[in-house]
Amino acid sequence: MTMIVCGDDGPARTVAASLAADFGFEPVDAGPLRVARYLEPFAMLWIHLAYAMGHGPGIAFRLLRR
């Protein structure tokens, strides 16, 4: 599962990414805090799929690379 991390403090993003990895996520550094505005609609999509569409809360998004 992918955990997207963003913020204006680079060292803090590194710590957040490390914590995400410790919990079993694949952290992805998305850059500065202004990017956070894109995460809310992404989370709303997850909520819609999980609850309105019946997939349940055990679903996750993953960033795939070639």
State pLDDT tens for residues 6-40.
999 999 999 999 999 999 999 999 999 999 999 99
Q: Enter the DSSP assignment of 61.
A: -
Q: What is the pTM of this model?
A: 0.80
Q: What pLDDT is recorded for position 31?
A: 96
DSSP secondary structure string for all residues of 21-52: HHTT-EEEEEESGGGGGGHHHHHHHHHIIIII
Q: What is the dihedral of CA 24, 29, 30, 36, to 10 degrees?
A: 60
* Sequence ranges of the domains in the chain: 2-52
